[in-house]
Amino acid sequence: MTTMKKILLATLAAVAMTGAAGAASAQPYGGPDRDRGYERDYGRGYYVDRHELRQLNMRQAELRRRIDWAVERRRVSYGEGERLRYEIRDINQMERRFRDTGGIDRRELRILQSRLDRVEGRLHRFAWNDYR
């Protein structure tokens, strides 16, 4: 084989490899954890998994039920119950905003949990310690 043919074949092989690598890198890649229910954003840190989001939503629903119970039993006034429900709606909207901007990461989950802790603390203080 002549030198010119060797150079031409090497150049063609390099071009073919570059084209294949470019096409492979254009494919979406969720990482190995994507199949297990996790999603990752390499720029912001780890997203929380679906199980943690489900627990957060279950906690919100349970807190709503407890507020309703406390209002029905007159442990909490109707107005205070409405304020607590409004705070939960606000937390729900915040969760939606976090989710719409690319998902909920660990820091955002802590913010939501902290806000739920405050609502739960207020409910307990008003309903079971008679600070009305």
Question: For 16-69, how does the pLDDT look when each residue is reduced to its tens digit (9 = 90+)?
Answer: 666 655 544 444 444 444 444 444 444 445 778 888 889 999 999 999 999 999
Same domain, 55 and 112: yes
Cβ atoms < 10 Å from Cβ of 115? 16
With beta carbons less than 8 A apart as the criterion, state whether 46 and 105 touch: yes
pTM over 0.75: no
Same domain, 45 and 101: yes
How far is C-alpha 4 from the geometric centre of its chain's CA atoms? 58
Same domain, 95 and 49: yes
Same domain, 13 and 74: no
Please tell me the total count of domains within the chain. 2
With beta carbons less than 8 A apart as the criterion, state whether 67 and 123 touch: yes
Same domain, 48 and 72: yes
Per the structure, the complete domain to which residue 10 belongs is given by: 1-30
Same domain, 78 and 117: yes
Say how many CA atoms lie within 13 Å of 75 toward its Cβ.
15
